[in-house]
Amino acid sequence: MSSNKLILGLPSKGRLQENASEFFKRAGLKVSKHGGRGYTGTLKGVSDVEIAFLSASEIAGNLEQGTIHFGITGEDLIREKLAAPDQSVELLLKLGFGHADVVVAVPQSWIDVDKMADLDDVALAFHAKRGKRLRVATKYFNLTRMFFAEHGINDYRIVESLGATEGAPAAGSAEAIVDITSTGATLVANNLKILDDGVMLRSEANLVASLNADWGDASLAAARVILDRLDARDRAENHMLVAARGPFDPAKMAEDLDRHYQCAADVFSVFEGGGEVRVICPTAQVQAVADHLRQAGAETVSASKADYLFAAENVLHDQLLKRLGR
């Protein structure tokens, strides 16, 4: 792969790959694979971009090493796999899919154990009675150590989970677990419960930028186009274009809508006895804006969606440049 191009790491298979491809498609950027089973591809609509299809954990590692510029992966893997994530990557955008929580779970039969403090008591009693440390099965070594340390729990040992972590207590290989769950149904099916304060991380897929990659002119230019398109699509999904004519001063009306409902003026015009105003409003405020306009005399108010809403500032690109020290 050319070092002058922006290298984008995408999940190589499964639901994450489908969701990542759909995410870019909504922004008018089509993911295209080289061959049916190829591990490279292109992002149609943006020049100087090459795609590397990798596993989610490989994406996290490659971001840290700087061999890819952008990657889509779960925040749980970023926090677990990277030694110093805040120094080596920037989480630019939460993508709204791949939701899962990293949690501490214990047997439901432990009726008096509901919080991390209770687990600490159990761990101390377990060691005192049996002369052994309480075992916690997990694949998340680093997150577990940090979270347990935050809660002052030291009397335990981690047991590496090589298979289905939720089965460890029933199999007798651990007393408690740290695992990832989307609904909690699998934990319940294995007679486990999540501690009330045992949610370590609410994770989802993120667009992540490497701070260690070689960011040249071509890769930065490609990043600007990608981030501009994503930001414009995100803004369009959360805003609507509202237009109305009525017996009001359109300039003053635009100011009022901005002040009360955070609406940005698009265009307005004056005619005899009133005017026309068109504004861009947060979707959640559209009903209130329509009421305001009708109370001011507008007979009809139209509201429509845009495919893209480009702003003067590219917030995501500015965020990236700031972290890169550019």
Q: For 49-71, what is each residue's pLDDT tens digit?
A: 999 999 999 999 999 999 999 99
Same-domain pairing of 222 and 246: no
CATH assignment at residue 249: 3.30.70.260
Q: Is the pLDDT of residue 2 over 50?
A: no
48-65 as b/e: b if 16+ CB within 10 A:
bbbbbbbbbebbbbbbbe
Same-domain pairing of 109 and 193: yes
Same-domain pairing of 92 and 137: no
- Selection from 169, 164, 103, 175 nearest residue 132 by Cα: 175
Give the structural domain span for 287: 238-304
Q: What is the pLDDT of residue 142?
A: 96
pTM of the model: 0.85
Burial of 7 (0-12, 13-18, 19+ CB in 10 A): buried
Mean pLDDT of all residues in 226-253: 93
Q: Between the CA atoms of 90, 93, 95 and 98, what dihedral angle is there, to the nearest 10 degrees?
A: 20
Average pLDDT over all residues of the chain: 94
Place of tokens 């994530």: 85
Question: How far is it, in rounded angstroms, from Cα 121 to Cα 306?
Answer: 56
Q: What pLDDT digit, counting tens, does each position of 259-304 carry?
A: 999 999 877 788 878 899 999 999 999 999 999 999 999 989 999 9
Give the SS3 label for residue 129.
Answer: helix
- Tell me whether residue 310 is in a domain: no
Helices 250-261 and 286-295, axial angle in degrees (round to 10): 140
CATH assignment at residue 156: 3.40.190.10
Q: What is the pLDDT of residue 119?
A: 98
90's torsion region: left (phi>0), alpha (psi -120 to 50) or beta?
beta
Same-domain pairing of 214 and 151: no
Q: What is the pLDDT of residue 158?
A: 98
Question: How far is it, in rounded angstroms, from Cα 244 to Cα 311?
Answer: 23
Q: What is the pLDDT of residue 272?
A: 79
- Residue 210 · residue 68 · CB < 8 Å: yes
Q: Is the pLDDT of residue 177 over 50?
A: yes
Q: What pLDDT digit, counting tens, does each position of 3-47 carry?
A: 589 999 999 988 999 999 999 999 999 999 887 667 899 999 899
Q: What is the pLDDT of residue 1?
A: 45
Question: How far is it, in rounded angstroms, from Cα 228 to Cα 314?
Answer: 6
- Tell me whether residue 299 is in a domain: yes
Mean pLDDT of all residues in 211-223: 96
